Amino acid sequence: MSLTSSSQTFSTSSSTTKATTQKTNEQNVKQQLIKSLTKLGSVSFDTQSKTYTLTVTNQSLKKTIAALNQDPSQAKAAKWPKFTNNFAKTSQSLKQALGRGYTFVIRVGHQSPVLVYKDGFVTKNKFES
């Protein structure tokens, strides 16, 4: 009987450990994103929605996005498709590291996101033609 109780406790402990490990992995991924995207902006993570957000602070990128807001037809000339594809790879890496269901968002300030990814796929591209 004592062994069964211990086993049940271990099972609960195992679930807790798994959740703790996932939380640790999420924070590790956030730190990696902060380090690799520091030149583009700041990175945040919302645990409830499982969403990583890159808020653009890079002046050059902000100007490009502002110009595309004015004239989305310039997306190809601004190399937007390449930019979009590179972050699809980032989203795919999130899926590999953390599992399904994580979203990666790129936005300027509190504006509507310009790009949204989930599980390696673009789900929103504001400048897609």
Taking only the tens place, the pLDDT of each residue in 14-41 is: 456 777 899 999 999 999 999 999 999 9
Say if 10 falls within a structural domain: no
Say if 13 falls within a structural domain: no
Count of domains for the chain: 1
Say if 93 falls within a structural domain: yes
Given a cut of 70, whether residue 103 has pLDDT beyond it is yes
Q: Rounded to 5 degrees, what angle do the CA atoms 78, 80, 84 make?
A: 165
pLDDT of res. 1: 38
What are 87's two structure tokens? 């972050």
Say if 70 falls within a structural domain: yes
Q: How far apart are CA 22 and CA 29, in angstroms?
A: 10
Say if 41 falls within a structural domain: yes
State the pairing for strand pair 103-107/51-56. parallel
Say if 17 falls within a structural domain: no
Q: What is the DSSP letter of 100?
A: S
pTM: 0.84
The residue segments making up the domain with residue 92 are 25-125
Mean pLDDT over the full length of the chain: 88
Say if 60 falls within a structural domain: yes
Say if 6 falls within a structural domain: no
Mean pLDDT of 49-70: 97
Edge-first strand listing for the sheet containing 51-56: 41-46, 51-56, 103-107, 115-118, 121-125
